[in-house]
Amino acid sequence: MSFFSNVASREHRAFEYFLSSTAPGLAGYFSREVYLTRVPKLSLSEVPLWHIVVALSSVHEGYAHSIQNSNRDAQLAQYAFGLKHYSLAVKSLTETISSQPGNLELVLLCCMLFVCFDCLRGNYTAASTHLTSGLNILCSEKDAGKLSPSYAKIIEQFTCLGLSVGIFIDIHLPETNTFSIWSQFSNLGSVRDNSTFKTLDDARHSLNMITINFMLHYTMSQKTDDLLGYKAILGPSTSTTRAALTAWTRNFDAMILLNDPANLSSSALRGSLQMKHHHASLLAIVNGISPVEGDDPNAPYRTIVTLARSLINVAPAPRASLSTDLGLVSSLFIAVSRCRVPALQREAFELLSAVPRREGLWDAEIAARIASEVLQVEKRDDERVAGERGLDMNLDELRVQKGEEHFGEMESELKVDLDFERTYRGTGRRERFIKISFI
């Protein structure tokens, strides 16, 4: 109480909003130690962390108001207030690093919240820069033997955030090289025993590491120009990833049975469904690259849609939710853009459009608008060749462009290049074309 007696009422309100809405969203269904305990406690004594907590929660509240009430003026006011404290946080952290170079925990927590702030305002460049800075610090500390086990929770939260940012960049901004991101995360590795799971956090981190190792090999394959080299790198990777996913399922099911599913809390149950959802999306990508003869290629997409519907309908997320996890948005977007069953595509699109949410750089509203463009192009193409059977069309590459002058703005027009490939099954002939959209 003595602390808040000297704090402006608007900052006090922002701190309360962080505790009630922002931090629970960032923590999701898993451990709340970092966002709901360590960050609030440390922010009361560390000026840089206080400023970024106020900044992030202010912009989050403005985002929520804009969704619920379409109150653009309130959103802009919150954004301006948040941007002010963001600048103060950066300045204060720079000063603190000069005077207290050994305060690693403060630097890492600030870095994580900087990434969250820039994700929420749609600044792709700044979010990637802060993520890379934090990774560089963690890897340098590990290489120097200074990274103690007490940082395990922070590393795991950083890993979740890194996945949601890195996969967005890989899918939407192909010109940006994420190889260093995945190699650094892989270098950090896992501090948990992946052979058995005792908690949901064990299972989540194991699944995240499987995804990171796959993305590492995937980006390596993209750097290889010749087809033979591509297959040499990615072929074994898909087999290894598929085997790792099978082992993960076995360990996860054993943990659930050991703890009696009937005793799971509602939060733990949702976390379990979300991990199964994440598992299905990675399996869908792996199967798309390297199909297994006899397997149903659409089974993972059915799982994605079914679990997403359960998470949204049975336990609806709060309006304008903010998360650092790979939740629903990326998986549903993958289902729309890659699944070849129209009914499943439409269901995935409906779910993607159902609940506004931000998961790292993944914005449900923007993803739904891009997905709508994909579906319209495919529909028009189907009508154009209505008399010809045996036509497959796939979205081969997607690039999102945002002018540098608009970076950091809450709303601005995005240019989206959609590269499609038509394949005629009878002849094997292929055609490529690009659809440019402004959303």
The label of the residue with tokens 């099954």 reads 425
The label of the residue with tokens 């898909």 reads 238
Q: The pTM is what? A: 0.86
**Helix-, strand-, coil-residue percentages of the chain, each rounded to 5:** 70, 10, 25
User: Does position 389 have pLDDT exceeding 60, yes or no?
Assistant: no
Share of the chain above pLDDT 90, in %: 33
pLDDT recorded at residue 291: 81
- Strands 415-424 vs 430-438: parallel, antiparallel or unpaired: antiparallel
At 362, phi and psi to the nearest 5? Answer: -80, 110
Specify which residues 418 forms β-bridges with: 398, 435
Q: Is residue 136 a part of any domain in this protein?
A: yes
Query: Half-sphere exposure of residue 348, counting CA atoms within 13 Å on the CB side?
Result: 32
Q: Is residue 110 a part of any domain in this protein?
A: yes
Token pair for 41:
């406690």
Model confidence band, residue 113 (pLDDT cutoffs 50, 70, 90)? very high
Q: Is residue 7 a part of any domain in this protein?
A: yes
Q: What is the DSSP string of 94-111?
A: HHHHHH-TT-HHHHHHHH
Burial of 264 (0-12, 13-18, 19+ CB in 10 A): middle
Residue 82, SS3 per DSSP? helix
Look at the alpha carbons of 315, 320, 326, 331 in this order and tell me if their dihedral is positive or negative.
positive
pLDDT recorded at residue 406: 47
Q: Is residue 26 a part of any domain in this protein?
A: yes
Rg (CA), the chain: 22
Counting the structural domains of the chain, the total is 1
* Residues 116-144, mean pLDDT to the nearest whole number: 88
Q: Is residue 147 a part of any domain in this protein?
A: yes
211 compared with 259, residue with greater pLDDT: 211
Instruction: Identify the domain containing residue 95 by its residue range.
Output: 1-157
Q: Is residue 220 a part of any domain in this protein?
A: no
Cβ atoms of 347 and 384 within 8 Å: the answer is no
CA gap 190, 124 in Å, rounded: 27
- The set of residues, in sequence order, having a beta carbon less than 8 Å from that of 83 and lying 6+ positions away, is 55, 59, 408
Question: CA nearest 197: which of 306, 300, 271?
Answer: 271
Model confidence band, residue 301 (pLDDT cutoffs 50, 70, 90)? very high
Angle at 166 between CA 160 and CA 170, to 5 degrees: 145
- pLDDT tens per residue, range 28-83: 888 889 999 999 999 999 999 999 999 999 999 888 877 766 666 777 888 889 99
CA gap 289, 210 in Å, rounded: 16
* E strand segments, 373-414: 391-401
Q: Share the mean pLDDT of the chain.
A: 82
Q: In what order do the strands lie in the sheet with 357-359?
A: 321-323, 357-359, 362-363
Question: CA nearest 176: which of 207, 139, 141, 131?
Answer: 131
- The set of residues, in sequence order, having a beta carbon less than 8 Å from that of 144 and lying 6+ positions away, is none
Choose from 24-28, 220-224, 245-249, 381-385 the range with maximum mean pLDDT.
245-249
Q: Is residue 428 a part of any domain in this protein?
A: no
Q: Is residue 309 a part of any domain in this protein?
A: no
pLDDT recorded at residue 44: 92
